[in-house]
Structure 1
């Protein structure tokens, strides 16, 4: 029973005057909130064996009919909280006879040498990317506000023209994921039949069909360097199935290149690390895992959630990864050390989707509580909460312009001023990024090209709508109705020409503006 139901029941159950009932209701709600707060901060083991041992020490059944590991851990929290209130201290002991207080806080396990090498590679990769991003942001911070407003207005004016360009029947069962390829020429859909399909744009002709999963597919992602026509040994995309397997696919081979087995339950979202060398997968076994794409080896099994993990997202620099699950909690992890960088505690229902903003310091989370929360990693708090949909928010995706040409998306301005010197994939003059302000050789601020990445956010919801939001005021920009039931997934192409949604009704929709065709 949630708090709203509790208030309604109390209106009928409590006697006395209105003031007395209100005071009693407020006191009861305060007790419930304090109890929830204590339980969230309570340290209990994540290992299911230790959870059973602790329940036995409390004199409770070690398992109940139909109870999973996450439910069992929640029951332990309830039991332990009750004893702490009654006795003033927990009674349970670990298997070695030590007090349960020894389990408080984070704990670490020794990793493999392969994981150590991977962390070092990720550190080198992420530091170089972060250096370029910060240098670019310094230059952009000096651009006149009038130009920023004009660019923003130009992009949002184009988004206002977006409309339904057409729909396509995707499969015999509900579609679960839809993703644009990095070059914005293909679109990938997955379904509950366990089948993945690739379609061309904008005609939506079927290009490839891949069958390999025995259960429904919950997550799919393109490799950052995926292009059509690579050799059969090249990984183009990955999918995760309810049988607990992650499969790597090539567009030139019908059979999977590799099957990554390790999860003991359904696989949720899967995402490639920005470097393309690693793959992350969220699991309903309460863990997320990191895989080596080249060797197909499992590098890391990360615990930290008390229930199923559904959502996963990598920061563009590659330094951080965020996970979210049915425990309503999100966590941001440092991939270079394994430490928790931030706990995203604010949603009242499960987290179904998440994405990092291209600026590197914001995370968006979509939840079953119908809201999208924007988290600021610098302030370690919620920056904004949007009542995004009338039902669960199934997907959140920031717009990312193509790294090959980040300026031309959505009718961007001329590249004048970016032709001299070496410009990297993010549109930053690498040779002069760090010292141009001091040496006076920086190109004029009025000529600095402004990438469109991160200017808006796309969300999909179970209310059948896809919505576009500004990423500065977090205000609605465009509402796109699908008329096809629950939206299971949504995405925006890197050239900014298309938005797509996959529906429970087995079809997917393509939206575009005046410059899409």
Structure 2
């Protein structure tokens, strides 16, 4: 019992000591210890208050306007860097497209596949045809050229050559006697036409400037008052082209059905349907003396995706002639001003000159790296202008056969081309939504018309004065 009592007392003592240690120290009233504790507490509160005031003063001393200016400058610098980067990438893409237009890609599909395999790319993608493969190879070669790679030797090998310097030399193909005769005929005709044009321009130069301005104002007012005179359903499928006859009494329309229709003007009544093509018709051209040559003479010509050019008389529904030679779609045809010859542009990459009297081919001219889409003869008859899907136009001298000017500047394909009646300006319409005017005297582009929001499929000067497009 005594041992248990001592143990209990020991445990109570330990509990009491623990409780005493947890209790706060008592300070009696009037003692120095209480003043010391109060002083210490006030000291800590004053230090905390001073710290808060110091932090508030440091925050208040910061210039918020300066912070905003720094942030604005950082944002402006970031925007400028992004703008410069986007411009640099756009210029690189423009340069790549320019290089791509100058690259010669094989037309043989097997060679194109071999070239794609050589560069480590698939020879065929899903839904890809031969044209798409050529475009893809052109893109790949242009990227290699942009990175500093060599593609000239590769292009030579793709063409089946040895890559020697002899292949880069100029070459010529001897022309026939018929072509020589046609060149002389065109030269004689163009001299007379040029003389008439210069005399007409001399008379126009004498017109006072006030009268010229008045004529232009009258033309603008007339164009603003244009209204729809009539409307008619042309065909079951889309219409691809429409042209007026030289006397403005008839209208020809071509469609994707392969049919051509003749309409009366201005009541828009169908007169005749011409059937002969088996695929889409894209080219139409009236003879300069259409309607006054008799039923056996061709009044107009047409070209279609069946690679054929058909000659028609306005009085007969069946063709009176056929011109064969193109290897692909014939997109455009145009009569020479003298009426003896016909020009045609095709997807086979060439344009050709035909003798309408003998219905034979006189000239096969290459020079574009891609398909041709447009062709027009100058009013004098001495020059021809062509444009294609390579985005480049060319001016050709029919008297010598030389390419005398390259029309560069479009970023995409050229779909339309035409000559001004002044004889020295050419207009081109492109898929880059612009119309550009080139001057042969300056050998440069002189105007650009960014007036369209989508592709420009064709372009024409007004026939009489050339004052409008």
Structure 1 residues not aligned, in runs of 5+: 1-15, 402-452, 458-517
Q: Post-superposition shift, 1:160?
A: 2.8
C-alpha contact (below 8 Å) 1:330/1:345 kept by paired residues: yes
- Separation in structure 1 between the aligned mates of residue 436 and residue 241 of structure 2, nearest angstrom: 21
Q: In the alignment, what sits opposite 1:75?
A: 137
Q: Post-superposition shift, 1:133?
A: 1.0
- Separation in structure 2 between the aligned mates of residue 316 and residue 377 of structure 1, nearest angstrom: 14
Q: Post-superposition shift, 1:294?
A: 1.0
Q: RMSD of aligned C-alpha atoms?
A: 3.0
Q: In the alignment, what sits opposite 1:155?
A: 219
| 1:272 counterpart (318, 323, 335) | 335
How many residues get paired? 387
Cα distance change on mapping 1:19 and 1:59 into 2, 3 Å: same
Cα distance change on mapping 1:138 and 1:266 into 2, 3 Å: same
The TM-score with structure 1 as length reference comes to: 0.68
Asked which structure has the greater CA Rg, the reply is 2
Deviations 1:383-408 (A, max 9, x none): 2111232222222121213xxxxxxx
Q: In the alignment, what sits opposite 2:300?
A: 237
1:384 paired with 2:447, answer: yes
C-alpha contact (below 8 Å) 2:352/2:362 kept by paired residues: yes
| 2:210 counterpart (132, 135, 146) | 146
- Separation in structure 1 between the aligned mates of residue 211 and residue 353 of structure 2, nearest angstrom: 42
Question: Which has a greater percent of strand?
Answer: 1
Q: Indicate the SS of the match to 1:253.
A: coil
Cα distance change on mapping 1:64 and 1:262 into 2, 3 Å: farther
| 2:271 counterpart (192, 207, 213) | 207
Cα distance change on mapping 1:61 and 1:107 into 2, 3 Å: farther
C-alpha contact (below 8 Å) 1:90/1:100 kept by paired residues: no
Q: In the alignment, what sits opposite 2:191?
A: 127
Q: Post-superposition shift, 1:52?
A: 3.6
Q: Indicate the SS of the match to 1:115.
A: helix
Question: Which has a greater percent of helix?
Answer: 2
Q: Indicate the SS of the match to 1:328.
A: coil
Q: In the alignment, what sits opposite 1:32?
A: 93
C-alpha contact (below 8 Å) 1:70/1:308 kept by paired residues: no
C-alpha contact (below 8 Å) 1:375/1:383 kept by paired residues: yes
- Separation in structure 1 between the aligned mates of residue 360 and residue 411 of structure 2, nearest angstrom: 36
C-alpha contact (below 8 Å) 2:101/2:390 kept by paired residues: no
Q: In the alignment, what sits opposite 1:338?
A: 401
- Separation in structure 2 between the aligned mates of residue 378 and residue 26 of structure 1, nearest angstrom: 33
Q: In the alignment, what sits opposite 1:285?
A: 348
Cα distance change on mapping 1:91 and 1:236 into 2, 3 Å: closer
Q: Post-superposition shift, 1:100?
A: 5.5
Q: Post-superposition shift, 1:78?
A: 4.2
Cα distance change on mapping 1:305 and 1:77 into 2, 3 Å: farther
Q: How does 1:230-379 map to 2 (within 5 A)?
A: 230-379=293-442
Q: Post-superposition shift, 1:305?
A: 1.6
C-alpha contact (below 8 Å) 1:71/1:307 kept by paired residues: no
The TM-score with structure 2 as length reference comes to: 0.74
C-alpha contact (below 8 Å) 2:100/2:138 kept by paired residues: no
